[in-house]
Amino acid sequence: MSEAHQRAQAEAPPPDTERAPHRSRLALLKRLSDVVSLPSSRVNAFERAVTADLLVEILRDADYDERARVARRVSTLTEIPNCLVRLILRDEIDIAAPLIIESGLSDADLLDCIQHATSAHRRLIAQRRGVSEVVVDALVELGETLVIESLLRNEQARLSPASVEHIVAMTRFQGQLVPMLLRRPELRPSHAYVLFWWAEADGRRAILQRFAVSREILQEATTDVFPMAAEENWQDDLTRKALQFIERRQRNRAAIEKSPYKTLEAAVSAAEAGINTEIADEIAFMSGLKPMTMAKILADPSGEPLAIHCKATGLSRFDLRSLWRALGRAETTESGEPSPDFSRVMTTYQMLAVDRAQTVLRYWNWALSSAMTPALIKAIQEQDEAALDEFSTPQRAAMLALGADFKR
């Protein structure tokens, strides 16, 4: 045996003393965990805090199994020292999971975990029972699709209006979120009518069935306001816009009297021979719409907004067919079968009541035209989502629905 080998053997600790520090560490971690776990009647707050500080220092360099054992032990406690909570929450997901899933953590602890841990940690937080709006806002702001999906599936999570609006914007490019979002009770008509523009056929049908509501109660409640506004010659813009949304009549009589076509049906018939901007604008004015709203309806590739427009304005299904032809869209397939798109549009027309179609159409007109201020257009161009809070509900709807249009 060489001299060097003999010296190495002499310097190496015996097997028992090599394992001793490991056994002592396990015992120490267990004792410290026991102290931290004692009820308040047995240990005061300062003793618990000192013990937790010592436990944290050891855990920083402890092995995986040692850290996992402590995490499982403290996850069942009702009171866990803050420094210990945050250390465990930032650990590997398998170690942090018992604490995230089982413990009654504060929003501050969860927010710290959201900021400093991984996407896997955030998914578990999104699945917790009763996730608060503050925590949901922090999760949604990061825009992680899998986390958002977990939140939307969590019936006990509470979504704030800002979070819903953020998710609505995400659905434009993350279509798989639409069915889950449509099932959420926090979704408001103002969100749904915007979401409609980029939803698939099933989503659009669900939106119309759930959110195309009647305005009958509003009409009954404001019956006496209409003559008051008329006596004032409709001088108050806010009142006028609100009553335009509520009133029963959709067509604009003054525009019809000025139009060379004299009736909305005549304008639609003329459009069948070839629609242009002039005819489209005339149809818009006689329909009580702004040209921007009408352009959005005509440009929609699927066609359901066209059915909503025709039903809301009292146009017949034959007029709807004329507008379909005016846009150069096929009524049948190459094999002679009815076009699925045209059939779906006709079904949409038939399923909607006039009053409900008017609600959708008027909201679009309110949101996509009246809200288009210079500041809003600038915000759309810059895609400044942070500026959303500065705008009203219809303005935010316009930003969401028209953002891509202005970008182009």
The DSSP symbol for 338 reads: B
- The structure tokens listed for 280 are 């489209």
d(CA 282, CA 255): 8
Residues 221, 192 share a domain: no
Q: What is the pLDDT of residue 248?
A: 83
Residues 158, 239 share a domain: no
Q: What's CA 42's distance to the chain center, in Å?
A: 48
Q: Could you tell me if residue 22 is inside a domain?
A: yes
Q: Is 12 exposed, middle or buried (0-12, 13-18, 19+ CB in 10 A)?
A: exposed
d(CA 282, CA 164): 36
Residues 87, 40 share a domain: yes
**pLDDT tens, position by position, 221-272:** 888 888 888 888 888 888 887 887 788 889 999 999 999 999 999 999 999 8
- The structure tokens listed for 375 are 């500041």
Which residue, of 169, 198, 227, is where some domain finishes? 198
d(CA 374, CA 380): 10
Q: What is the pLDDT of residue 380?
A: 41
Residues 255, 141 share a domain: no
Its sign, for the CA torsion 55, 60, 62, 67, is positive
The DSSP symbol for 389 reads: G
Residues 240, 117 share a domain: no
Spatial contact of 114 and 141, defined as CB atoms under 8 Å apart: no
d(CA 145, CA 288): 40
Residues 399, 262 share a domain: yes
Residues 365, 244 share a domain: yes
Question: Phi and psi for 3 in degrees, rounded to 5?
Answer: -65, -40
Its sign, for the CA torsion 52, 54, 59, 62, is negative
Spatial contact of 298 and 327, defined as CB atoms under 8 Å apart: yes
- The structure tokens listed for 222 are 């404001």
d(CA 335, CA 94): 58
Q: Could you tell me if residue 207 is inside a domain?
A: no
Our CA dihedral for 157, 124, 175, 396, rounded to 10 degrees, sits at: 50
Residues 337, 263 share a domain: yes
The structural domain count of the chain equals 2
Per-residue pLDDT 10s for the chain (408 aa) are: 445 444 444 444 444 444 444 676 677 676 666 666 656 666 666 666 667 677 777 777 777 887 888 788 877 777 777 788 888 898 899 989 988 887 788 899 999 999 999 999 999 999 999 899 999 999 999 999 999 999 999 999 999 988 998 898 888 889 999 999 999 999 988 888 888 988 999 999 999 999 888 888 888 888 888 888 888 888 888 888 788 778 888 999 999 999 999 999 999 999 988 888 899 999 999 999 988 888 889 988 899 999 999 999 999 999 999 999 998 888 888 888 888 999 999 999 999 999 999 999 988 887 765 544 454 344 444 444 544 555 566 556 555 655 544 443
- The structure tokens listed for 300 are 């929609």
Give CA separation, 102 vs 74, 251, 341, 368, 384, in Å: 10, 59, 49, 46, 39
The DSSP symbol for 354 reads: H
Residues 248, 169 share a domain: no
Residues 187, 61 share a domain: yes
Beta bridge partners of 338: 332
Q: What is the pLDDT of residue 152?
A: 96
Q: What is the pLDDT of residue 5?
A: 45
d(CA 195, CA 187): 10
For 57, the domain range is: 16-198
Q: What's CA 251's distance to the chain center, in Å?
A: 34
Question: Phi and psi for 250 in degrees, rounded to 5?
Answer: -95, -40
Q: What is the pLDDT of residue 7?
A: 46
Strands in 274-316 per DSSP E: none
Its sign, for the CA torsion 180, 98, 39, 80, is negative
